[in-house]
Amino acid sequence: MSAGHKSLLLLFFRKEERLFFLERKKQRTFIPALVAACVLAGGGARAAETLSVCIDSASATAERDQKVAEAVAKREGVALAVQHFDGADGDDGVTDKQFKKLLSSKCQLVMGYPVDVSDATPPADMMETKSYAETGFVLVVPKGSPAKSLADFPPGTSVAVTFETAPNLYFLQHKNVTPDVHETDTETLKALVDGHAKAAMVWQPTVQTYLDAMPSARLNVFKLAEPHARFNVVALYAANGAAAAKRFDDEVAALHAGGAAFDPAMVHRQSSTGFDPAMVIRAAVTGAKNDDPPPALYTSAQAQAGAQHYAAVCSVCHGAQLQGVVGPALKGPNFASEKAGFAVGDIFTIIANNMPASDPGSLAPDVYVKVMAYVLQQNGYPAGNTPLTYTMAAASNVKLVYRGP
């Protein structure tokens, strides 16, 4: 992911949606051995030619990615070598450094990398193939529900959502729904199935895994036309894999032209009408350039009080200097990236609804405001004479961009 994604969306994707594939299985198997399979086409595999790919065995989409690789190798008439790795091994998932290691010594392509359609920047020094499937966050409702989008629910409707995921932002724009926050996507979906919530917003592979296991489940699944909800699925490659990536793109295009669909879940499940990928671009965020004078959104007294609250409640996860420990960093150019395009209100919504991790939303509203003031101060925003309020913080469209030092 881009620096903006890795910093800010790390805030969202720390749990079931990990830094790499975002969704992991509860029971996962790591397969360290290199598995090679010759897939014949026509008269047989071309001598001494192999398509080598890496696939995350912990990903819910691993089977799909394997089938795509097999289909491409078959069309090329080459052998397929698959290296499995465990993308959910560790709290941070797979880092850029590990991606580079995989691509330099294990494979030509790393399959199944999700790219937010509003920020299609691959990790540093790596490139991405064209999209071969799509995924993202979806709205799940019981069959019989008339709702197909968040706007369709009556005021006060409880919608289950996973801790620290992008759909937490959607409550800011949709005042008619209220968040029911859960630790994992599995628990979020269970809240809907058990009737504790009227809907759920989860990562699409989670829903598909559940529907595959429970085909009689009476659920409808709709795409979310919301910011950072839609992702293209690509393969990553380095310079030495450029030729393999070009062939991969050509063969995938031919397979699509022949009617192949690698992500049928997003096709055969009911989808809401009017979905426009352009809607994920946060055009409403204000604050033009990083060199523009930053606005004063809080008072120095609020930031000072916020520093004390932060030290007492937040520093254990996010570090004494906001550098990140178990939780992500809350300061610096990787956290507040201009490219990511997030507003103060976006980040405040996450903080107020999801923090602290041990008891989300349990602090007094004014405490969240003061912590936000401290975060703004630490990211280079000046103090002013007008105090920040909860309503102002939640509604702020001011772009959050690190100003130094």
Question: Does domain 300-395 match CATH 3.40.50.450?
Answer: no
**164 touches 13 (CB < 8 A):** yes
Is the pLDDT at 23 greater than 70? The verdict is no
- Band of residue 42 on the pLDDT scale cut at 50, 70, 90: very low
Task: Give every CB contact of residue 345 below 8 A, 6+ residues apart in sequence.
Answer: 172, 393, 394, 395, 396, 397, 398
Alpha carbon 154 to its chain centroid, in Å, reads 28
| Cα-based distances in Å from 120 to 13, 74, 82, 137, 190 | 17, 29, 26, 17, 32
Give me 6's structure tokens. Answer: 């890795």
Q: What CATH architecture is 135-223?
A: 3-Layer(aba) Sandwich (3.40)
Return the ∠ at Cα 109 (arms to 94 and 28), rounded to 5°. 45
> Does 226 or 262 have the greater pLDDT score?
226
Residues of the chain with pLDDT > 70, as a percent, come to 77
In this structure, the chain runs to a length of 405
- State the Cα–Cα distance between residues 330 and 375, nearest whole angstrom: 7
Q: Do the two domains 135-223 and 300-395 of this chain adopt the same fold? A: no
- Band of residue 335 on the pLDDT scale cut at 50, 70, 90: confident
Is the pLDDT at 340 greater than 50? The verdict is yes
- Model confidence over 175-207: pLDDT tens digits? 899 989 888 888 999 999 999 999 999 988 888
**343 touches 172 (CB < 8 A):** no
Is the pLDDT at 403 greater than 50? The verdict is yes
- State the Cα–Cα distance between residues 352 and 239, nearest whole angstrom: 43
User: Rg for the chain (alpha carbons), in Å?
Assistant: 22
- State the Cα–Cα distance between residues 321 and 98, nearest whole angstrom: 26
- Model confidence over 124-173: pLDDT tens digits? 788 999 999 888 999 999 999 999 999 999 999 999 998 878 888 888 77
- State the Cα–Cα distance between residues 88 and 297, nearest whole angstrom: 39
Give me 102's structure tokens. Answer: 């995989």
User: Where would I find the beta strands (DSSP E) of 324-398?
Assistant: none
**198 touches 157 (CB < 8 A):** yes
**191 touches 121 (CB < 8 A):** no
Closest CA relative to residue 94, chosen from 81, 107, 109, 113: 113
- State the Cα–Cα distance between residues 85 and 208, nearest whole angstrom: 22
- State the Cα–Cα distance between residues 209 and 55, nearest whole angstrom: 18
Q: Is 35 helix (H, G, I), strand (E, B) or coil?
A: strand
- Model confidence over 271-328: pLDDT tens digits? 333 333 332 333 233 333 445 688 999 999 999 999 999 999 999 888 899 988 767 7
| Cross-strand pairs, 350 | none
Question: Mean pLDDT across the chain, nearest whole number?
Answer: 78
Look at residue 164 in the predicted model and tell me its pLDDT. 74
**404 touches 291 (CB < 8 A):** no
- State the Cα–Cα distance between residues 202 and 186, nearest whole angstrom: 9
> Does 11 or 130 have the greater pLDDT score?
130
Q: What are the residue ranges spanned by the domains of the chain? A: 3-134+232-265, 135-223, 300-395
**Residue found by looking up tokens 């881009």 in the block:** 2
CA atoms within 13 A on the CB side of 238: 19
Other beta carbons within 10 angstroms of residue 208's beta carbon come to 22
Look at residue 275 in the predicted model and tell me its pLDDT. 30
**136 touches 231 (CB < 8 A):** yes
Closest CA relative to residue 8, chosen from 387, 375, 305, 404: 375
- Band of residue 93 on the pLDDT scale cut at 50, 70, 90: low
Closest CA relative to residue 392, chosen from 354, 342, 348: 348
- State the Cα–Cα distance between residues 230 and 251, nearest whole angstrom: 24
Closest CA relative to residue 135, chosen from 12, 221, 202, 232: 232
- State the Cα–Cα distance between residues 191 and 185, nearest whole angstrom: 10
Q: What CATH architecture is 3-134+232-265?
A: 3-Layer(aba) Sandwich (3.40)
